[in-house]
Structures are given as structure tokens and as C-alpha cells.
Amino acid sequence: MVGLGGAIGAMLRYGVGELLSGEFPWGTLAVNLVGSLLLGVILGLSLSEEMVLVLGIGLMGAFTTMSAYSMDLVRLFDEGQHSQAATYLLITLLGCPLLAFAGWKAVSEVT
């Protein structure tokens, strides 16, 4: 179920990226914003476990990882765990780009 949704989500992500390609990463921005909205809708509905696997984890998981991050952050705030939410927000916003840069730089130095 997850794989089926994932295959569709990956193809959609590629299509949006190609459609909105250019100097600015409009495709990535679009899938992250739309995916976050759609995952919120999917998780807000009373869907069966199978549908959540296909649509939430599979489709949205492959379409964007920002959607899962966004919902985790929303849940932390909703549960009143404000300091944990702020920590998660800061670590993600700073750590992910720094680690991506470190990985990119490490590989580019070798090649």
C-alpha cells in the first residue's frame, strides 16, 4: 500500500518539478506547500488505516517530506509541547541545510 502511493507520489513530484523548473526552485516549493496542506487534510479526515498508508505515508511521503515534518510540528504545538516544537523547528531549519551542505561539500571535494 505504501509503495503504491509512493510510486504515484514520486511521479507527481517529478512532474511538478519539471513543469515549474527554473532559476528559483518553484517545483520544490510547490510540492512542499501543497503536500503539507494535503497531508493535513488527509490526517484530519477519518480515513481507514489503509487509506492513510496509501495517501498519507505513501503518496505524500514520496511527494514531499516537508508535509510529514509540518504535521509533526503541528502536533507538538497542538499537544502544548511548545519548547519541543521550537527545538524541532530550529534543528530542522538549521540542521538539514547544514548537513546537506556538508554532504555535498564532502562529495564535491572527493570528485
Per DSSP, the residues of the chain read -HHHHHHHHHHHHHHHHHHT-SSS-HHHHHHHHHHHHHHHHHHHS---HHHIIIIIIIIIHHH-SHHHHHHHHHHHHHTT-HHHHHHHHHIIIIIHHHHHHHHHHHHHHH-
**Mind listing the pLDDT tens digit of every residue in the chain (111 residues)?**
999 999 999 999 999 999 999 888 899 889 998 998 999 999 999 899 999 999 999 999 999 878 889 989 999 999 999 999 999 999 999 998 999 899 889 888 876
pLDDT at 110: 79
CB contact burial 64-76 (16+ within 10 A = b; e otherwise): bebbbbbbebeeb
Distance CA 70, CA 75 (A): 9
* Confidence at residue 51, expressed as pLDDT on a 0 to 100 scale: 96
**Residue 61, phi then psi, degrees to nearest 5:** -65, -40
Nearest CA-CA partner of 38 in 8, 3, 81: 8
pLDDT at residue number 80: 97
For residue 67, the model assigns a pLDDT of: 84
